[in-house]
Amino acid sequence: MPAMNMIQALNHALDVMLARDPDVLIFGEDTGYFGGVFRVTDGLQAKHGLKRCFDAPISEGGIIATAIGMGAYGLRPVAEIQFADYILPAFDQLVSEAARLRYRSAGEFWAPITVRSPYGGGIFGGQTHSQSPEAIFAHITGLKTVIPSNPYDAKGLLIAAIEDDDPVVFLEPKRLYNGPFDGRHDQALKTWAGDPRAEVPEEHYTVPLGKAAIEREGADATVLAYGTMVHVAAAGIAESGVDAELIDLRSIVPLDIETIVASVRKTGRCVILHEASRFGGFGGELAALVQERCFYHLKSPIERVAGWDTPYPHAFEWDYFPGPARLAKALARCMER
Amino acid sequence: MPAMNMIQALNHALDVMLARDPDVLIFGEDTGYFGGVFRVTDGLQAKHGLKRCFDAPISEGGIIATAIGMGAYGLRPVAEIQFADYILPAFDQLVSEAARLRYRSAGEFWAPITVRSPYGGGIFGGQTHSQSPEAIFAHITGLKTVIPSNPYDAKGLLIAAIEDDDPVVFLEPKRLYNGPFDGRHDQALKTWAGDPRAEVPEEHYTVPLGKAAIEREGADATVLAYGTMVHVAAAGIAESGVDAELIDLRSIVPLDIETIVASVRKTGRCVILHEASRFGGFGGELAALVQERCFYHLKSPIERVAGWDTPYPHAFEWDYFPGPARLAKALARCMER
Amino acid sequence: MRDLPFGLVRVLDEAGQAVGPWNPRLEADTLREGLRAMLLTRAFDERLFRSHRQGKTSFYMKSTGEEAIGVAQSMMLGREDMCFPTYRVMGWLHARGYPLIDMVNQIFSNANDPLKGRQLPILFSARDYGFYTLSGNVGSRFGHAVGWAMASAYRGDDKIALAYIGEGTTAEGDFHEALTFAAVYRAPAVLCVTNNQWAISSYSGIAGGEETTFAAKAIAYGLPGLRVDGNDFLAVWAATEWAAERARSNLGTTLIELFTYRASGHSTSDDPTKYRPADEAAHWPLGDPVERLKGHMIALGEWDEARHAALIETLDTQVREAVKTGEAVGTLGKSKPSVAEMFEGVFKEPDWRVVEQRRELGI
Amino acid sequence: MRDLPFGLVRVLDEAGQAVGPWNPRLEADTLREGLRAMLLTRAFDERLFRSHRQGKTSFYMKSTGEEAIGVAQSMMLGREDMCFPTYRVMGWLHARGYPLIDMVNQIFSNANDPLKGRQLPILFSARDYGFYTLSGNVGSRFGHAVGWAMASAYRGDDKIALAYIGEGTTAEGDFHEALTFAAVYRAPAVLCVTNNQWAISSYSGIAGGEETTFAAKAIAYGLPGLRVDGNDFLAVWAATEWAAERARSNLGTTLIELFTYRASGHSTSDDPTKYRPADEAAHWPLGDPVERLKGHMIALGEWDEARHAALIETLDTQVREAVKTGEAVGTLGKSKPSVAEMFEGVFKEPDWRVVEQRRELGI
Ligand SMILES: Cc1ncc(C[n+]2csc(CCOP(=O)(O)OP(=O)(O)O)c2C)c(N)n1
Ligand SMILES: Cc1ncc(C[n+]2csc(CCOP(=O)(O)OP(=O)(O)O)c2C)c(N)n1
Ligand SMILES: [Mg+2]
Ligand SMILES: [Mg+2]
C-alpha cells in the first residue's frame, strides 16, 4: 500500500471518482490547469480532460450555485473553495438552497454536491486564511460537515461524501496536508511518511460519514476532537499523563453520538478541543449533548479548549492556537476535581 | 407614558435618533416612502427627509457593504434587512468586514452600524420568513447580537445599539410586534395594550447591551430565554407549577454571564428555550457555559427546548414551535431527577 | 447587437395586427391555447386571492398583468427543458396542464399538499412540468439555471434552462454571478428579467432602471440582450424562440428583459395604494396582455366575444371545482399532511436527531 | 459614451511622446515625483520579497508592472480622499510618503507593527494616508467605497472615494452590488478594475474577459466606463482626473478599467511558471510602466540615465536602511507586539470573555 500525504490521498479520491463515475466533475478557483493552490487537483485536468476538471471565476456564490444546478440535473459536482474563510460569500447558497432543496421540494430535487475547502490555522495565514467555520455549518439543517484527520480517512471520507446524495461541506485541515502536526510548532516538521494512517489503498473505498474513530482508548477521561486537533489532543494526552480516550469525530454532521456517549459514560470526564473560537463554537453543542446524556456519569465539568474569542491573530498564532499544553492543563484540572 | 406596541417603540427609537444625531440614517428594502413591510420606519421619510430615510436596492450584501462604508466615514447607519432569513447574502459582509474592521486595522476604522431585522416564527411565514439565525452571529468575534422581548426594551436597546460603536445585529421577534405571544396559538390574539412593558417613555433612554433582565424570580429552576420565547417561558413556567426563575437575556453578545450563573447556582436547575433548531443552536453555548460554571450546583441535566432539527415547516408551525407545554414538560423532568 | 437592449421587441400593434420581423406566425390553435392558459391563470389568481381573504390559506401572490410571460414561454419551450421560476410565472404551470387540484392543495397546505406541508403557498416544485423548486429567497436560483444548463451541455443533451428574476432582484449578487458563469461557460440558457416596474413598494429606478435598461446588463457579459414587450404574447414567444434556438445551437446564453407591469399588489400582505397612484394600473403602459391577444385573435377572425365569455365561464368553473375539492380535503389549519412529514427529507436518510425528536413528539 | 469602454485611453506613444486629447500636461517635477514613487515601489518589492525567502516574513505580494496605477492615482487625488485598495497598489502609500519603516515592521510582524501583529503582511491600513483597511478577502471592500462616498455627499463634503478590484474579482457579487448602489445613489466615487490579465493561475477569460472588456461592465449600470492603458502613467492620471472631476461635480461614479500586466508571480506562495510561459513577462504587451515614463522624461529632456541610476541607488539605500531598522526590532517569530494586543480591539471595550481568557493566559 503506498504511503500518501493528505494532498495525494485527496487527489487520489478525486481521480478514482472521475474515472469511476462520469457524473463527477470538479471545479473551483485555480483547480483546472494549475491544479489548485494546495495542489489537490493536480494533474486531474490533464488526465481526465477540460470538461471534467476546470477553473471557475472568483465567485464563491456562483461556484456553489452552479454546482447546485448541476446537482439538480443529476451530476455529482465537487467544488473547491480556495480557503474556508471564503465560503462565506456562498453561505446563502449553501443554507437557503443546497441544504433545503430536498426538503422543500418534497424530494423532487436535491443537491448531491461536495464542497471541499482547506480550513484551520497553524500556517501563519493570518485572519482570513486560518479560520475554522464548522460551527456555522453544523447548525444548518440539511447540510453534512466532514473533517478528516489523516490521509486514509481523507480519501475514504471524500469518496463517501461525493457518493452521498446530500450536500456535504468537506473541510480539509490544511496544516495536515503535508504531515501530522501536534501543535508543537517549535519542533521539526513531520511528514506523513511512516505513519500507518498514511497507508492509502489505490482502489476505491469509503469511510462512512457519521462514524467516529477511537484514536486512543483510555479509562479516565474522554477527549473529543477533529481535524488537526486530533493530533494535538494525542500530544496533550501524552503530556498530561492522563489515561484519556481520544475520539476523532471525523464528521460533525452526522455526529456519532453513540460512540461519544459510551466513552464519557465509561470515563466520567470530557474535554472538547477545537481550533475555532470558543464562544458559540461546535464545542458548545458537544458539551450540551454530553451533559444531557451523561450527566450522572460526569465527575467534573466538561472542559472546552479552543481558540480565544478574538479574530485569528497573525503574529500570535501560537498564543491563539490551542496547543497540547492547554489540553494537558484541562485534563489535569478534570482529574483534580 | 404612552402605551406602544413594539413597532411603535422601534419607530420611536429611530425617530428620536434621527432627530438627535445628524449622523444617523436609515435604509433598507422598502423602508423609505412605504415605511417598511412591517411599518417600523413608517413616517420617518416624511418627517426627516429623503436623505435620512430611503429605499435600497434588493441586495442585502450591498446594503451592509454600503452601511459599513458609511460607518467608516463616521455616520451611524441603521440598515433594515426585510427578514432575518435574508441576512445570509450579507453574511460575508457582516463577518469578514463589519466584525473585523476595528481589530484588523488596529482601531483605525470601525463599523458603528446597526442591522435591524425581523426574525422568528409564529406567523405562518414558512421556511424563509420564520428562521432564527442568532447562533451563527453569536459565534462571530466582533459582532454583537441583541434581541428584545417587549416594547420598552425594544426602544431602549435599539437606541443603545445605534449609539454603540461596534456592529450590532438587532433581531426583532416579529411575532411580538403587535402583542405578546406566549405560544398558545389557539387563544385570542393579545395586544400590548395594558402591558406595563409597553409603557414607553417619549424621550431618549437606553437599555444597556449585555444586561439580562430577571423576568420572574424563582427558587427551583432557571429558564433562559430571549425574544418571543420569554413569553412562552412565562406561560410554560405557569403551566408547570415549578417555581422557576425566568431570565430574559436581551442580548446574547455581550452575554450577561453573571446573572445567569448567579441564578443557576441558586436554583440548581436550568432549562434553555429557543426557537432555532436545537443542534448547533445558541442553547449549546449556554448549556456549556452553565455546566462549566455551575457544575457542582446542578441537580439535573441542563435541558434544551428548541425547534426540531428540520427546516422551518410551514404547515407544522405549531408542531415545530417550542411551546409552553414542551417547556413545562422539561421543567417537570428536571424536578423529578 | 449592442443596440438591441435599447429597443423594444413588439409584434402586436395598436390595431391588434401582428407585424414586423419578430412575428412568430403561430397557428390559431396555439393562440387559442395561449389565451386559455392566460385566462386560467387570471381566474385562478382571482379565486385563490379570495380564498386568502377567507382565511383558507396563509399567503397568495398574483401574476396579474404578466400572464403572457409564463404562458408563452412554457408553450414555446420543450417538455424536457427546465424553468427556474419566480413566484410570478404561474402561467407556466397552467399552460402545461398542471392539475389545479394539486395547486389548490398546496395553497391550502392540506393533507394532499404535494409538497407535504413543508413550503409556503405557491412556492411550488413540479419537476415533471419543467418547474424547478421555488423558495422565498428571491434571486438565489438564477445561478442554478446556469449550472443545470451546463450539466445538460456536459452530458451532450439538448435540454435548455430558462430562468426568471424580477427587475428589483437584479440588484442581488446572484444575478451577476449567474450571468458571469453563463457567459464564461456558454451555458445553453435563456435568462429573463421580468421588469414589472415594481419591487414591492420600490419602483424600478431603485434597481438602476432609470440609468439604463435591464436588457443592457447583457453588454457587461458580452451576451446578446433583448428588450421585449412582455405584454405581447407573440413578442415573448418570438424572442424566446430566438434565444432558445441560440442556446440549442451552442451559441450560449441570451438575456431577455420582459417589460411588463405588476397590475396587482405584491402579495396578500401588500397594499399598493400606500405607495402608488390607485389608478396607475388602469393606465397599463403596454396594455392588458389578455386583451391584446384577444383583440388580435378577433382581428384574425379566430375568436369572438361570445367564445371569450364562454371560455372565462368554463375556466372559472374549473377553478371553482378544484377549490371546492381542495376545501373538502381541508384548508389552512383544518387539515395537513401527517406530522411525520415534518421530519422527512432533511437528509435522504434520517439521522438520529430527527429519529429521536420524532419519538419525543410521539409520532 | 457607449463606445468609450471599447477603446483604450493612451497618452504616451511608442516614441515616448505625450500625445492626444488625454494628455494631462503635467509639470516635470510631478513626473519626477511619479517616477520616484514607482521606482521606490519596485525597490521595496524586490527587497521585501527577498526578506520572505530569508524567512523574515510569512508572506509578500509584489505590484511589479502595475506601479503606475497606485502611484498616479495617489498623487492625483486629494489628501482627504480615500482609497479602497487591493494588495497590488502599494504605490499609493509610497507616493504619499508612508514611512518605510512602518511598512517593514508590519511585514515583519514585529513589536513595532502598526497593526499590532493582527494582520497578514502587506494588508495595511493607513487612514492618515487615505488608505482603507485591507483584508485577505478579495472584493469585499468595493462596496464600502460606495458607502463612504455616499456619506461624504450626505455630509456635503467634497471628498471622493476610489476603489480597486482585480479583473478576476469582478466575478464576485460584491462588484455588481457596489456598481448598482453607485449608480442608483450617484455616489462620488471612482471605481477601478485593475486588469492585469491574471488571477493567480486563471487568465482574464475565466472572468469573462474574452467576451467583452471590463470597462464595458459600466454600461450595465448606465455609468461611463473608461478603458485605460494602466502602464501609462499619464493616461492613468488623466483618466483619474476626469473621473474625479465628474465625482466632485456630483455627476456620479465612473468605472475605469486599467489594462495592465502582472509581471511577477501572484504572491510568495505562487510559481507562475506552472501556468504561463516563462518568458511571457518579457513581452509585456504595454511595456514596463517605469521604462515608459522614464523614456518620456528623457525625451522631454527632464531626465537622464545617470540620474536614473542614482535615484535607484538612493531608493535602494532607503529601503535597505528601513529593512535593517526593522530587522533590528525583529522579524517574524523573533519579535512581536505584546500578546495583550491579541485581545484588544475585538470590541471597543473588552467583554468578560476576552478579560477571562487574557487572565487564563496570564497576561
Ligand atoms: C433575498 C431576499 N431579499 C428580500 C426578499 C423580500 N422580497 C420578496 S419579493 C421582493 C420584491 C421583488 O421584486 P422584483 O424582483 O421586482 O420581483 P416582483 O415581485 O416584482 O415580481 C422582496 C424585496 C426576499 N424574498 N429575498
Ligand atoms: C473572497 C475570496 N476568494 C478567493 C480568494 C483567493 N484569492 C486571493 S487573490 C486571488 C486572485 C485575484 O485575482 P484578481 O482579482 O485578478 O487580482 P490580482 O491578484 O490579479 O491583482 C484569489 C482567487 C480570496 N482572497 N478572497
Ligand atoms: Mg418587479
Ligand atoms: Mg488580476
| Number of Cβ atoms within 10 Å of the Cβ of C277 | 10
Q: Which helix (H) or strand (E) holds C92?
A: helix C91-95
Q: Which residue of C has its CA nearest to A164?
A: C348
Give me the torsion for CA of C195, C198, C203, C207, rounded to 10°: -50
Check residue C58 and give its pLDDT.
Answer: 95
> What are the structural domain ranges in chain A?
3-199, 213-336
CA of B1 to the centre of ligand 2 (A): 56
Q: Which residue has the cell 442568532?
A: B134
Considering the domain architecture, whether residues D324 and D343 belong to the same structural domain is answered as: no
Residue with the nearest Cα to atom 20 of ligand 2? D199
Residue with the nearest Cα to atom 21 of ligand 1? C166
Q: Which residues contact C145 (CB under 8 A, 6 or more apart)?
A: A69, C82, C84, C132, C161, C162, C163, C178, C189, C191
- Do residue A309 and residue D353 have CB atoms under 8 angstroms apart? yes
Nearest CA to CA, how far is A303 from chain B (Å)? 7
Considering the domain architecture, whether residues C354 and C249 belong to the same structural domain is answered as: no
Q: Which residues contact D135 (CB under 8 A, 6 or more apart)?
A: A127, A128, B96, B97, B100, B104, D123, D141
Q: Which ligand has the nearest atom to the CA of D166?
A: 2
Q: What value does the mean pLDDT take over residues C350-357? A: 97
Q: What value does the mean pLDDT take over residues D149-168? A: 98
For A107, counting Cβ atoms within 10 Å of its Cβ (0-12 exposed, 13-18 middle, 19+ buried), the class is middle
For C55, counting Cβ atoms within 10 Å of its Cβ (0-12 exposed, 13-18 middle, 19+ buried), the class is exposed
Percent of chain D residues past pLDDT 70, beyond the cut: 100
**Helix or strand or coil: residue D7?**
coil
Cβ proximity of D89 and D123 under 8 Å? no
**Helix or strand or coil: residue A275?**
strand
Q: What value does the mean pLDDT take over residues C152-172? A: 98
**Helix or strand or coil: residue A25?**
strand
pLDDT at A1 over 80: no
- Do residue D125 and residue B257 have CB atoms under 8 angstroms apart? no
pLDDT-derived band of residue C284, with 50, 70 and 90 as boundaries? confident
**Cis peptide bond prior to A118, omega within 30° of 0:** no
Cα(A124)–Cα(A315) distance, integer angstroms? 8
Q: What value does the mean pLDDT take over residues A83-97? A: 98
Q: What value does the mean pLDDT take over residues D257-265? A: 96
pLDDT at C3 over 90: no
Q: What value does the mean pLDDT take over residues C304-327? A: 98
C361 touches chain B (CB under 8 A): yes
Considering the domain architecture, whether residues C280 and C183 belong to the same structural domain is answered as: yes
Q: What value does the mean pLDDT take over residues D26-52? A: 98
pLDDT at C85 over 80: yes
D322 touches chain B (CB under 8 A): no
Residue A314: active-site member: no
Strands (E), A120-220: 144-146, 168-173, 213-216
Catalytic residues of B, by residue number, are: 129
Residue type, D338: S
CATH architecture of A3-199: 3-Layer(aba) Sandwich (3.40)
Considering the domain architecture, whether residues D285 and D360 belong to the same structural domain is answered as: no
Name which of C118, C171, C274 is nearest B313 (Cβ-Cβ).
C118
Considering the domain architecture, whether residues D103 and D206 belong to the same structural domain is answered as: yes
pLDDT-derived band of residue C113, with 50, 70 and 90 as boundaries? very high
Check residue C278 and give its pLDDT.
Answer: 85
Q: What value does the mean pLDDT take over residues C205-221? A: 97
Considering the domain architecture, whether residues D344 and D255 belong to the same structural domain is answered as: no
Check residue C282 and give its pLDDT.
Answer: 82
D284 touches chain A (CB under 8 A): no
Q: Which residue has the cell 466632485?
A: D248
SS (H, E, C) A197-231: HHECCCCCCCCCCCCCEEEECCCCEEEEECCHHHH
Cα(D259)–Cα(D204) distance, integer angstroms? 11
- C-alpha cell of C287? 396594455
Q: Which residue of D has its CA nearest to C3?
A: D2
Q: Which atom of ligand 1 is nearest to the CA of B88?
A: 1
Cα(D215)–Cα(D170) distance, integer angstroms? 11
Considering the domain architecture, whether residues C83 and C146 belong to the same structural domain is answered as: yes
**Cis peptide bond prior to C99, omega within 30° of 0:** no
Considering the domain architecture, whether residues C344 and C195 belong to the same structural domain is answered as: no
Nearest CA to CA, how far is C55 from chain A (Å)? 23
Cα(A31)–Cα(A56) distance, integer angstroms? 8
Q: What value does the mean pLDDT take over residues B135-146? A: 98
Q: What value does the mean pLDDT take over residues A226-248? A: 98
- Do residue B91 and residue A96 have CB atoms under 8 angstroms apart? no
Check residue D236 and give its pLDDT.
Answer: 98
Residue with the nearest Cα to atom 15 of ligand 1? C166
Check residue C281 and give its pLDDT.
Answer: 80
pLDDT at C285 over 80: no
CA of B127 to the centre of ligand 3 (A): 22
Check residue D211 and give its pLDDT.
Answer: 96
Catalytic residue among A12, A48, A129, A274: A129
Average pLDDT, chain D: 97
Check residue C26 and give its pLDDT.
Answer: 98
CA of B7 to the centre of ligand 4 (A): 48
Nearest CA to CA, how far is A117 from chain D (Å)? 15
Considering the domain architecture, whether residues D292 and D344 belong to the same structural domain is answered as: no
Residue B119, beta-bridge partner list: B173
- Do residue B89 and residue C173 have CB atoms under 8 angstroms apart? yes
Mutation choice for ligand 1 from C200, C206, C262, CB with most ligand atoms inside 8 A: C200
Check residue B2 and give its pLDDT.
Answer: 82
**What count of Cα atoms within 13 Å lies in the side-chain half-sphere of residue D190?**
30
pLDDT-derived band of residue D283, with 50, 70 and 90 as boundaries? confident
Nearest CA to CA, how far is D176 from chain C (Å)? 6
Residue type, D141: R
Check residue D280 and give its pLDDT.
Answer: 86
pTM above 0.95, yes or no: yes
Q: Return the residue in B58, B94, B105 with the most chain D beta carbons within 10 A, the one to mutate for interface testing.
A: B105
Q: What value does the mean pLDDT take over residues D104-119? A: 98
Q: How far is CA B309 from CA A140, A251, D152, in A?
A: 9, 17, 46
Considering the domain architecture, whether residues C235 and C345 belong to the same structural domain is answered as: no
Q: Which helix (H) or strand (E) holds B155?
A: helix B151-163
Backbone angles phi, psi at A58, to 5 degrees: -80, 90
Q: Which ligand has the nearest atom to the CA of D134?
A: 2
Which residues on D lie below 8 Å from B96 (Cβ)? 135, 137, 140
DSSP-derived letter for residue C18 is: B
Q: Which ligand has the nearest atom to the CA of B128?
A: 1
Residues having CB within 6 Å of any atom of ligand 1 = B 29, 58, 82, 86, 89; C 86, 88, 136-139, 166-169, 194, 196, 198-200, 262, 266
Among candidate residues B298, B54, D297, the one with its CA nearest the CA of residue A301: B298
Q: Kindly state if the Cβ of D167 falls inside 6 Å of ligand 2.
A: yes
Mutation choice for ligand 1 from B55, B58, B63, CB with most ligand atoms inside 8 A: B58
How does pLDDT run across A281-333, given as a tens digit for each residue? 999 999 999 999 999 999 999 999 999 999 999 999 999 999 999 999 999 99
Among candidate residues D192, D181, D184, the one with its CA nearest the CA of residue D146: D181
Q: What value does the mean pLDDT take over residues A100-126? A: 98
Q: Which residue has the cell 480622499?
A: D81
- Do residue D183 and residue C208 have CB atoms under 8 angstroms apart? yes
Cα(C38)–Cα(C63) distance, integer angstroms? 10
Q: What is the CATH number of the domain that holds D209?
A: 3.40.50.970
Average pLDDT, chain B: 98
Q: What is the ipTM of this complex?
A: 0.98
Q: What value does the mean pLDDT take over residues A117-128? A: 96
Q: What value does the mean pLDDT take over residues D10-17? A: 96
**What count of Cα atoms within 13 Å lies in the side-chain half-sphere of residue A5?**
17
**Helix or strand or coil: residue B303?**
strand
C357 touches chain B (CB under 8 A): yes
Check residue B307 and give its pLDDT.
Answer: 98
Which residues on C lie below 8 Å from A101 (Cβ)? 133
Backbone angles phi, psi at B170, to 5 degrees: -115, 105
Backbone angles phi, psi at B217, to 5 degrees: -85, 150
Residue type, B200: V
Which residues on B lie below 8 Å from C109 (Cβ)? 314-315
Number of domains in chain D: 2
What's the distance, Cα to Cα, between the start and end of chain C in Å? 61
- Do residue D222 and residue C208 have CB atoms under 8 angstroms apart? yes
Q: Which atom of ligand 2 is nearest to the CA of A89?
A: 1
Cα(C202)–Cα(C206) distance, integer angstroms? 6
Report whether CATH 3.40.50.920 matches the domain B213-336. Answer: yes
- Do residue C180 and residue A62 have CB atoms under 8 angstroms apart? yes
Check residue D86 and give its pLDDT.
Answer: 98
Cα(C273)–Cα(D21) distance, integer angstroms? 53
Average pLDDT, chain C: 97
Q: Kindly state if the Cβ of D182 falls inside 6 Å of ligand 2.
A: no
Segments forming the whole domain that contains residue D142:
4-332
Considering the domain architecture, whether residues C362 and C274 belong to the same structural domain is answered as: no
pLDDT at B143 over 90: yes
Mutation choice for ligand 2 from D66, D135, D140, D200, CB with most ligand atoms inside 8 A: D200
Of C286 and D153, more confident: D153
D118 touches chain A (CB under 8 A): yes
Q: Calculate the CA A264 to chain-centre distance.
A: 22
Cα three-residue angle B277-B283-B288, rounded to 5 degrees: 140
Identify the weakest region by mean pLDDT among A106-115, D238-247, D283-292. D283-292
SS (H, E, C) D24-57: CCCCHHHHHHHHHHHHHHHHHHHHHHHHHHCCCC
Sign of CA dihedral B304, B308, B310, B315: negative
Q: Which atom of ligand 1 is nearest to the CA of C194?
A: 21
Identify the weakest region by mean pLDDT among B96-100, B170-174, C271-275, D76-80. C271-275
Nearest CA to CA, how far is D126 from chain B (Å)? 8
pLDDT at D30 over 90: yes
Considering the domain architecture, whether residues D323 and D344 belong to the same structural domain is answered as: no
Among candidate residues B25, B76, B19, B12, the one with its CA nearest the CA of residue B52: B25
DSSP-derived letter for residue C333 is: T
Q: Kindly state if the Cβ of D168 falls inside 6 Å of ligand 2.
A: yes
Cα(A221)–Cα(A247) distance, integer angstroms? 11
Q: Which residues contact D149 (CB under 8 A, 6 or more apart)?
A: B69, D159, D160, D161, D182, D187, D188, D189, D247, D253
Q: Kindly state if the Cβ of D326 falls inside 6 Å of ligand 2.
A: no
For D125, counting Cβ atoms within 10 Å of its Cβ (0-12 exposed, 13-18 middle, 19+ buried), the class is buried
